[in-house]
Amino acid sequence: MTGGEVSDFTAVPDLLNMPVATPQAMLADKGYDSDDVRDRLADQNIQAVIPPKANRTHPPACDFKRYCDRNRIERMFNRLKQARRIATRYDKTRLSYINFLYLAAAKDWLRSFVNST
State how far the alpha carbon of 10 is from the alpha carbons of 5, 85, 114, in Å: 12, 24, 38
Per-residue pLDDT of 83-107, as tens digits, reads: 888 888 878 888 888 899 999 899 8
Per-residue pLDDT of 19-64, as tens digits, reads: 888 888 888 888 888 888 899 899 989 999 999 988 888 888 888 8
**13: CB partners within 8 A, 6+ apart:** 40
- pTM of the predicted model over 0.75: no
102, with CB counted inside 10 A (0-12, 13-18, 19+), is: exposed
Give the per-residue pLDDT at 5. Answer: 65
Give the per-residue pLDDT at 117. Answer: 60
